[in-house]
């Protein structure tokens, strides 16, 4: 019996894992913060060259001051549909001092997950069996450079085994998703026909807790804001002004706790007004899911979760309010006996 395309791709990965890991490591070594336009362009050029090697027609879509979109087409004679594959090649900003490896841009292979005692190891050579416990570390190794070696390997596998595609493919790789995609609307206006297709497949999301392949028909949008509370016009010595001058950090803590209850309920008036209530059919679908909430809490090292331990899938149907970061003065060895002059918070709100 002839192999299925999935079996062909899997066999190719098992036989060429060493080469796939090497290419992935090379990509991870290129810094990819959206504001770093020089290195962002290096990422774009790398992807352009790699996909052109697989017979994909590639061009960089440009707008002044914006990271380029890497756009590719692979047309199939007689195909009646066009699939658009979306991946973003930029990553979250990174604080290297908090990185567990030597650098966020090393693409370093480890013998296991670091938290399980994994140690740095050399990239495998041809013929080496790939250990599924290995982990490769680098900024965007998961979100969202991981799809690139997978897509490239599938294209190589199909070409080697002469598998004929049945759909036209468009590739749409964005370089500023983690920055909020501020130019995406302008790209659509400038390159409208490039966006045309039958369905968009967004290759960006976590592995399901069951480990099974997953297709999601919607994702949670993001709204964000930054808050700053001002106290005195300069930081003050607490021995002189403590218990007299207002303390921005305490004011910020009070403000934030007024916005959200410790059980997870958002207290801001009207916050839930535009959210559709969870229906009986929603609950029926949730009840059919595998039981994994306790496993998630164990993996995360938490003993409880918001919503009074409501099902994880149910919480995804509600908007969230998250304090993404707090800053006021210094802590640990840098702490000083001062009343800081400001306190800042960054808030992220995921839509239902």
pLDDT in tens, 290-304: 888 999 999 899 999
Looking at residue 1, its pLDDT comes to 66
- Alpha carbons within 13 A on the beta-carbon side of 77: 0
pLDDT in tens, 255-307: 999 999 999 999 999 999 999 999 999 999 889 888 889 999 998 999 999 99
Least confident of 56-65, 331-340, 341-350: 331-340
Pairing of strands 120-121, 69-74: unpaired
pLDDT in tens, 185-212: 999 999 999 999 999 999 988 777 777 7
Candidates 4, 7, 3, 24; CA nearest to 15 is: 7
Looking at residue 352, its pLDDT comes to 83
Any bridge partners for residue 342, and if so which? Answer: 230
The CA distance from 89 to 318, in Å, is 29
Assess contact for 133 and 110: CB atoms under 8 A: no
For the cut 80, the answer to whether the pLDDT of residue 213 exceeds it is no
Burial class (CB in 10 A: 0-12, 13-18, 19+), 89: buried
- For the whole model, what pTM was predicted? 0.81
Which of the two residues, 103 and 48, has the higher pLDDT score? 48
Q: Three-state DSSP class for 327?
A: strand
Cβ neighbours for 54, distance < 8 A, ≥ 6 positions apart: 152, 155, 156, 159
Helices assigned H by DSSP within 228-327: 238-241, 248-259, 280-287, 293-300, 306-309, 312-315
The CA distance from 210 to 196, in Å, is 34
Looking at residue 189, its pLDDT comes to 96
Confidence class for position 2, pLDDT limits 50, 70, 90: confident
The CA distance from 157 to 11, in Å, is 8
């Amino acid at each position: 019996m002839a192999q299925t395309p999935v079996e062909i791709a899997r066999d190719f990965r098992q036989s060429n894992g060493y080469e796939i890991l090497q290419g992935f490591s090379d990509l991870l070594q290129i810094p990819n913060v959206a504001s770093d336009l020089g290195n962002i362009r290096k990422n774009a050029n790398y992807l352009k060259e790699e996909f052109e090697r697989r017979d994909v027609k590639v061009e960089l879509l440009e707008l002044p001051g914006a990271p380029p979109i890497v756009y590719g087409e692979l047309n199939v004679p007689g195909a009646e549909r066009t699939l658009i594959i979306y991946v973003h090649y930029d990553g979250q900003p990174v604080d290297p001092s908090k990185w567990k490896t030597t650098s966020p841009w090393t693409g370093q292979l480890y013998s296991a997950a670091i938290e399980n005692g994994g140690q740095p190891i050399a990239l495998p050579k041809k013929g080496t069996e790939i250990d599924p416990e290995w982990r490769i570390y680098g900024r965007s190794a998961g979100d969202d450079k991981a799809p690139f070696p997978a897509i490239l390997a599938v294209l190589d596998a199909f070409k080697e085994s002469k598998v004929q595609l049945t759909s036209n493919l468009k590739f749409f790789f964005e370089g500023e998703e983690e920055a909020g995609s501020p130019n995406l609307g302008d790209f659509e206006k400038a390159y409208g026909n490039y966006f045309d297709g039958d369905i968009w497949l967004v290759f960006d999301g976590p592995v399901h807790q069951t480990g099974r392949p997953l297709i999601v028909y919607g994702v949670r949008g993001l709204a964000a804001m930054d808050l700053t509370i001002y106290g005195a016009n300069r930081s003050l010595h607490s021995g002189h002004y403590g218990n007299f001058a207002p303390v921005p950090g305490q004011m910020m803590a009070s403000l934030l706790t007024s916005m959200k209850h410790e059980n997870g309920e958002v207290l801001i008036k009207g916050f839930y007004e535009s959210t559709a209530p969870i229906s009986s059919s929603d609950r029926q679908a949730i009840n059919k899911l595998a039981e994994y909430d306790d496993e998630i809490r164990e993996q995360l090292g938490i003993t409880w979760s918001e919503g009074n331990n409501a099902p994880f899938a149910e919480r995804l149907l509600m908007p969230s309010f998250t304090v993404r970061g707090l800053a006021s003065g210094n802590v640990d060895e840098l702490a000083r006996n001062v009343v800081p002059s400001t306190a800042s918070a960054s808030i992220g709100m995921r839509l239902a």
